[in-house]
Chains A and B, each alone.
Chain A
Amino acid sequence: MTMGERTRLSSSAYGAASASGDRRPFWGALVSHSGYQSLTDLIFKSPRRQFLLLASLPVAWVLVAHLGPILQMFWVSFLDSYPPTVGQEPGFTVANWKKFFEERIFMMPFFRTLIFALIVTLSTLLLTYPVAYFLAKHVKRRNQMIFLLLILIPFWVGEIVRTYAIMILLGNNGAINLLLKSIGLIERPIPFMYTTFSMSVGIVYLTALYMLLPLYSALEKIPDSYREAAADLGAGPWTRFWRVTLPLSKEGITSGCTLVFLISTGFYATPVLLGGPSTTVFAETIAGFFHVAGDQWPVGAAFASIMLIATLALTGLFLKVMGRGGKGLLQ
Chain B
Amino acid sequence: MTGNTRVLMSMIYWAFVIYLFVPLMLMVLMGFKASKFIGFPIKAWTLEWYLGVFESAEVIDVFAYSMTIAIASTALSLFIGTWIALLLGPNRFFGRAALFALTCLPAVIPGIISAISLRIYARLLEIDPGMIAIILGHTVHNVPFVALVVMARLSTLPQSQLEAARDLGADQAVTFLRITLPYLKPALIGAAVFCLLLSFDDFVRSFFLGGYEPTLPVLIFAKLRSGMSPEINAIATVALVITAVLGLWAERWTRRVTP
Contacts and interface: CB of A to CB of B under 8 A. Distances in A.
- Asked if A and B are interacting partners, one says yes
Interface of A: 27, 30-31, 40, 43-44, 50-51, 54-55, 57-59, 61-63, 65-70, 72-73, 76, 82-83, 127-128, 130-131, 133-135, 137-138, 145, 147, 149-162, 164-169, 171-175, 177-178, 205, 208, 237, 262-263, 265-269, 272-273, 283, 286-287, 290, 297, 300-301, 304, 307-308, 311-312
30 contacts: A58-B87, A61-B84, A65-B136, A67-B102, A67-B105, A69-B120, A69-B140, A70-B109, A70-B117, A73-B120, A82-B123, A135-B13, A138-B10, A156-B197, A158-B217, A158-B243, A161-B236, A162-B24, A167-B224, A167-B228, A169-B26, A171-B38, A175-B22, A175-B26, A208-B20, A266-B112, A268-B112, A269-B207, A304-B116, A304-B117
Interface string B237-252: 0011001101110010
B124 interface: yes
A51 B91 contact: yes
B43 interface: no
B1 interface: yes
B255 to A, nearest CB: 7
Interface in B1-44: 1-2, 5-6, 9-10, 12-13, 16-17, 19-24, 26-27, 30, 37-41
Contacts of A63: 102
A199 B55 CA distance: 34
A66 B140 contact: yes
A57 B99 CA distance: 12
Interface stretch (B152-160, B172-180, B183-191): B172-180
Given A58-B99, A164-B220, A307 B203 contact: no
B207 to A, nearest CB: 7
Contacts of A172: 39
A287 B116 contact: yes
Contacts of B113: 73, 266, 286, 304, 307-308
Closest 4 CB pairs of A and B: A173-B39, A266-B110, A158-B201, A266-B111
A269 B203 contact: yes
Interface in B193-207: 197, 200-204, 207
Contacts of A127: 16
Contact of A154 (B21, B41, B117): B21
Contact of A164 (B27, B102, B105): B27
Dominant secondary structure at the B interface: helix
Contact of A55 (B6, B87, B106, B208): B87
B171 interface: yes
Task: Place the interface of chain B in its size category.
Answer: 35 or more
B86 interface: yes
Contacts of A304: 112-113, 116-117
B80 A57 contact: yes
A149 to B, nearest CB: 6
B116 A266 contact: no
A58 B84 contact: yes
A61 B87 CA distance: 13
B221 to A, nearest CB: 5
Given A156-B197, A168-B38, A151 B17 contact: yes
A173 B38 contact: yes
A161 B110 contact: no
